[in-house]
Structure 1
């Protein structure tokens, strides 16, 4: 059995694609000269006849993927998340408007490519793919969830965007649940005073924040949303009603991302005391993602402090 806890997120991605290629002969993988950096080479080694490198040409990457989908294949197109944005027009017109089964995989997302600076740090990708009507948006937290999300994405009708990190890995979801269900949220910690909603790599920070809050006499629920679209509205409403205070945390801009999706729904169904933690501007060069989490305040201590403020304001 594959040891998912021992893999980095991009290694889990490569393994998932290779295994999916064993199960489905219609799966093809395309890269924009990123076969090594995305670990798509794992698929290439096992299925070389279904692997295509289009070069550093992201618009062609998505356009060719659309053509393969029209020909009956299920293409997975991989490049850095920051560079996938170059092909948004192709994603909109060639993929989304036709609701084609194309899977766009943005790797090195968020702060994952810390040392290459803000040009390589995708902090807007959830927003720009969430706005496309037919796209499903998956934001797994760790290697276990990357593998499960990629595997589950093969069952989705229409296009999918999958956001993946690089090497930063805190295995959190491996024992949280057994089966990944697209559109479902997962409860990491139960609580009654405040609900911390997370997506992607901020999950372990939120869990640690809940532990800090418990020491202060505050019961915080942590609910993880690996699917940003379609959002698990039932979970959103349940924990908003149970706690009366919601804090969302994401490695993304605060405008248009996961927190915005939660706010859009609650503002129309159950107005709730709420705050959104994330970024308000571009990133910066750093030695590691952890250094950037600290610099921008995405830490367990800051999450706990913001959640406590919400509890006091209820």
Structure 2
């Protein structure tokens, strides 16, 4: 195979004998829950078989963003940039200018905090066709504030030209990857990696960029959710059936652009408490986007509540403990809904 003139050697990442499973990449799946391994990496590697313009870049984290699957399948199209996120985004911008479709992967905190200006000026302002896929969104690691991207959506929502996607599960991620490639322009994906739960395939769900979809209907409560919180919302809906509370779940995978028409229609159906659930700070995320939308359009539901992470730096620890402490576990969310009703 002819080697790309842009090729860089794929070198081992981390220190010692190599990367090991740790709390950094703890699975979000409950015991016994169906999962799929590395859906992003496998979907990208498969798509690249017929798309020679797809390239992958990592800032020393391909193992922890599942891009190593792509690197193994297409080593001549994988670029290891080292621990230099600003260089990562600049290089992706350069490759996009040459007609490639670059997928730049790192952790969400590093993209949002360290590389913001480079994404803004080198990629978004020029509306370049760069796809940014970032692991550890929200509270998906127990490693504390240095790795918990609790404010990444708030940081990126104000950036013009940037599409923002928060996928729920492996089934959706597999559909998101080709949709990202089909879309012309920069995209930011909050990526679930490793052994990712499978949920939405049971509901016959199909991802469409920019579209919110009702996963289940209900007369008492409308949960507007995104990312892994749609999985939690569906679990809460089942739990509240025992209390004879009928819960609808509206999944919003595309946070920007927001599917305003669908949200307004569903929130405008009378008599239902509206709850927005997200794996993100209650400041600047989907909750405030929906609240602003409803206010601007004069849609006033009987009640409006948010399930999200508090406006503070979170603790380190085991994910199940942290999810319960900060209110995004199934049990914690169900308790709050019962209180609000």
Q: Would you call these one fold, judging by a TM-score over 0.5?
A: yes
CA distance in 2 between partners of 1:170 and 1:67 (Å) = 35
Q: Is the aligned partner of 1:53 residue 2:80? A: yes
Q: Is the aligned partner of 1:119 residue 2:146? A: yes
> Which has the larger helix fraction?
1
The equivalent of 2:227 in structure 1 is: 200
Q: How does 1:16-165 map to 2 (within 5 A)?
A: 16-85=43-112, 86-114=114-142, 116-165=143-192
Mark the structure with the bigger radius of gyration.
2
Summarize deviations over 1:38-57 as a string: whole Å, max 9, x none: 12111111111111011000
The equivalent of 2:20 in structure 1 is: none
CA distance in 2 between partners of 1:79 and 1:256 (Å) = 22
1:249 to 259, 273, 277: 277
Please say if residues 112 and 167 of structure 1, whose CA atoms lie closer than 8 Å, have aligned partners that are also in contact.
Answer: no
Larger mean CA deviation between 275-284 and 212-221 belongs to: 212-221
Summarize deviations over 1:226-266 as a string: whole Å, max 9, x none: 11111121221122111442101111100111111111211
CA distance in 2 between partners of 1:244 and 1:192 (Å) = 7
CA distance in 2 between partners of 1:188 and 1:152 (Å) = 20
Secondary structure (helix, strand or coil) at the match of 2:324 reads helix
Please say if residues 224 and 277 of structure 2, whose CA atoms lie closer than 8 Å, have aligned partners that are also in contact.
Answer: yes
Tell me how far 1:158 sits from its aligned partner.
1.1
Tell me how far 1:129 sits from its aligned partner.
1.6
Summarize deviations over 1:90-126 as a string: whole Å, max 9, x none: 1111111111111111112222221x22211111111
Gaps of at least 5 residues in structure 1 are: none
CA distance in 1 between partners of 2:330 and 2:71 (Å) = 39
The equivalent of 2:253 in structure 1 is: 226
Summarize deviations over 1:269-292 as a string: whole Å, max 9, x none: 1133311111121222112x2221
2:314 to 275, 279, 283: 283
Give the paired residue count.
303
Please say if residues 172 and 204 of structure 1, whose CA atoms lie closer than 8 Å, have aligned partners that are also in contact.
Answer: yes
CA distance in 1 between partners of 2:184 and 2:304 (Å) = 33
CA distance in 2 between partners of 1:238 and 1:156 (Å) = 26
Tell me how far 1:182 sits from its aligned partner.
0.4
Please say if residues 309 and 327 of structure 2, whose CA atoms lie closer than 8 Å, have aligned partners that are also in contact.
Answer: no
Please say if residues 186 and 223 of structure 1, whose CA atoms lie closer than 8 Å, have aligned partners that are also in contact.
Answer: yes
CA-based RMSD: 1.7
CA distance in 2 between partners of 1:177 and 1:125 (Å) = 30
Please say if residues 274 and 310 of structure 1, whose CA atoms lie closer than 8 Å, have aligned partners that are also in contact.
Answer: no
Tell me how far 1:13 sits from its aligned partner.
1.1
Tell me how far 1:64 sits from its aligned partner.
0.7
Larger mean CA deviation between 36-45 and 247-256 belongs to: 36-45
Larger mean CA deviation between 265-274 and 193-202 belongs to: 265-274
Secondary structure (helix, strand or coil) at the match of 2:200 reads coil
CA distance in 2 between partners of 1:178 and 1:216 (Å) = 27
CA distance in 1 between partners of 2:174 and 2:129 (Å) = 19
Secondary structure (helix, strand or coil) at the match of 2:208 reads coil
